[in-house]
Structure 1
C-alpha cells in the first residue's frame, strides 16, 4: 500500500471536500460530497453522539444512496449546517426524486467546541451559512489542521483539527479517511512530542517524530483540555460527557452495499483506538461514516468470501489513525487558543 497522489480522502475518485470556518467563532464545517449520489453506512462507538439522519443509513432502511455528509463544530447548533448543504444541493438540482420534487439526503455529525475561546454570542445560528459555504467550496484540494470542522477542535493536551490521509491498495483500490479530531483522550504520548499513531506514519506526514521509546503501557498525562474549559466557564463543573468527539468519514472506490459500508465503518474505528488514548469513552461521540463511490450492484454478495472487505477495512483504519495525527500536527496557533499547537511544543 502507498498513499494516493494527494494523501487526502479525495484521492477516492469522484469525491470532493469543502471547508468553511469563522475564525472569531473558532468553529466551522466540513462537507464531503460527490459528482453522483453514493452508498454510505455509519457506526457509532462513542457514548455521546450528535447526529442527523443517520438512521436512514442502516442496511434495512429504504434510501439507497445519499448526496453529502457533514462534519461540523457547534454541538447541537452545528447540526443545522446540514440544512445549508441541503439548500445548496437543492439549488444544484440534486436530491432524491419524489415526483417533481428533489430531496437532498445529507446525514451529519457534530463535535462540541462551545468552550474553546471563541465568541459564541451569535444573534442567529451561523451554521446553516457555514454549511452552504462549505458545500459551495467543495473541491479535490482542501485545507487541513485548523480548518473546517476542525477549526476549534481540541485534544486532551494539544489542539486538534481536521485531518485526512489515503492509501492505494495493490489491486488499485483507493481508500481514504477524513476526520475532525476533538477527543477527550490524547493524540500524543506523555511528553506530547510523539503521536500514538507514529508506527503508521509515512514519509514524515505528521512531523516525523517517530515512536516514543518510553510510551509502553503508560497512563496518559492529565487532560489540559477539561481544565482549560473549566477555567473559561468560571470554574463551573464541565462534565466530560458530551464535550468531546472524533467524527470521521472513510471512503473507497470499491463497490460496497450499505451493509458492507457499515462493516467498513466498524473496522475503521480501530484507527481511532490506535491514535487516541483513551478512545470511545462515555464522554466522546466517536462516529465513523463509510462511503463507497462505485455501483453497489458490483459488490461482493452475501455468502461470498469477504477477504477484500477485510483488507479495505484494515486500510481504512490505518488511514484514519494517520489522519488523526495529521489533524493535530497541522493545527495552527490562533488568538485566544486554550491549548498549544503540537508544532509549538
Structure 2
C-alpha cells in the first residue's frame, strides 16, 4: 500500500496546475462507474452535479470527481475531465449518446498572490483535461493540483491522502484539499490535531503537546475578523472497495465527515464550504450495520490523516507575504 487514494483498485488520480496563477485541478478517475453520494456541512460550498449524488437522483454511479481551485470559476474544470472521458468512450449511455458523469467541488484561492488576470476565460477547463489525462496510480502530495493555492489560518494548506483497511480487510482511502478557515495544528506549534490517528511518522510523528494552554485553544481564523465565507473550504474524496448502495455511500460520507473535526479547529463553520464525496467500487460485500459503521469509523480516521498530510507536505508559495509551510518551521 502506498498510503494513497489509489490503494483502492480501479482508482487513478491526476494533477494539473499553473505556478503563475498559483492554482490547479485534481481529477479522480474511476476505471468503472462507482456508486457515490455526498455530504456537505460547510456554510459556503461550491459544487457541480451535486444533485446527481442526492438519494432521490436517478443516476447511481459516476465516472470521475473533479476538485479545483478558482472558486466558482474553477467549476469549469469538470468540463475538461468530461471531455477526456468522452474521448475514451466513458459515460452514461442514453441510446446513441454518451454523457460522462463528473461531480466536482471548488476551493477559493483567488487572493493567494498568483496572477489571476487570465483574460476572457479562466484556464480550469484545460487544467481539468490535463489532470484527467495525467491520472495514474502514483501522485504527489502537498502544493500540487487543487492544493497548489490552498491555505489555512496559520500555515500553507495543500493536498493530502491516506489509506487503511478494516479488520475484515475492506479498503478505504481519502484525498483532501485543505483550504480551511481554521488551523490543522495545535496553536502555532508543530503538533497536528490529527496526531492520535497518525500511522508511523506520516506527518512528522510529533504527537500532541504535553499539555494545553488557553492560547492553543483560541480561534485562529484565516483573515481574522474579516474572514469571508467564500474564501475557505476543505474538499474530501473517500473511496472504498466495499459494495455499497447509494444510501450507504451517503452514510459513509456523513461518518467520514467527522474526520474533519479530528483534524481542523474550528470546522464546519459558516466560513467554510466543507464537502465529502464518498464512492464505492463494489468489490467486497460488508454487513450493512456493523460493517458500515466500522468502515465509517476507519474512513473518518483516514480523512483526519489525509488532512494533516496535506499541510505537512505543503510548500510555501513564492509570493511576498505568503504563509509559511509547516516544513519551513518544523521540517
By how many angstroms is 1:305 displaced? 5.0
Deviation of 1:285 (Å) = 0.3
- Corresponding residue of 1:203: 200
Q: Give the structure 2 partner of residue 340 of structure 1.
A: 324
The answer as to 2:217 corresponding to 1:219 is yes
1:110-125 matched pairs, under 5 angstroms: 110-123=106-119, 124-125=121-122
Match of 1:253 in 2: 241
Q: Write the distance in 1 (CA, Å) between the matches of 2:145 and 2:98.
A: 27
Structure 1: gaps spanning 5 or more residues: 228-236
Q: Distance in 2 between matches of 1:30 and 1:222?
A: 28
2:268 counterpart residue number: 280
Counterpart-to-counterpart distance in 2, 1:284 and 1:152 = 16
Partner of 1:232: none
> Are the structure 2 counterparts of residues 15 and 216 from structure 1 closer, same or farther at C-alpha, using a change threshold of 3 Å?
farther
Distance 1:144 1:222 in 2: 24
TM-score (norm 1): 0.91
305 and 100 in structure 1: CA distance in 2 versus 1, 3 angstrom threshold: closer
Distance in 1 (CA, whole Å) between partners of 2:200 and 2:129 is 35
| Partners of 1:305 and 1:21 in 2: CA distance | 40
Equivalent position of 2:99 in the other structure: 103
- The match for 2:125 is 128
How do 1:183-202 residues align onto structure 2 when only pairs under 5 Å count? 183-202=180-199
Tell whether the 8 Å contact from 2:183 to 2:220 is kept in structure 1 after alignment.
no
Partner deviation per Cα, 1:19-70 (whole Å, 9 max, x = no partner): 1110111111111111111110100000000000011111221102110001
Deviation sequence 1:90-120 (CA, Å, 0-9, x none): 1111110011110000000000000111111
Query: Does 2:228 match 1:240?
Result: yes
Q: 1:293 aligns with which of 270, 281, 285?
A: 281
Structure 2 match to 1:28: 24
- Tell me the CA shift for residue 211 of structure 1: 1.0
Q: Secondary structure at the match of 2:86?
A: helix
* Equivalent position of 1:10 in the other structure: 6
The answer to which of 212-221 and 42-51 deviates more is 212-221
Count of residues in correspondence between the two structures? 326
SS in 1 for 2:67: strand
Taking a change above 3 Å as real, the CA distance of residues 139 and 330 of structure 1, as seen in their structure-2 partners, is same
Contact 2:16 / 2:24 at 8 angstroms: preserved in 1?
A: yes
TM norm structure 2 = 0.95
- Indicate how the Cα distance of structure 1 residues 211 and 239 shifts in structure 2: closer, same or farther if over 3 A, else same: closer
Q: Which runs of 5+ in 2 are unaligned?
A: none
> Does the residue aligned with 1:242 lie in a helix, a strand or coil?
helix
Query: Quick check: 1:142 aligned with 2:139?
Result: yes
Query: RMSD of the alignment, in Å?
Result: 1.6
Q: Is 2:252 the partner of 1:264? A: yes
328-337 or 71-80: bigger deviation: 328-337
Partner of 2:50: 54
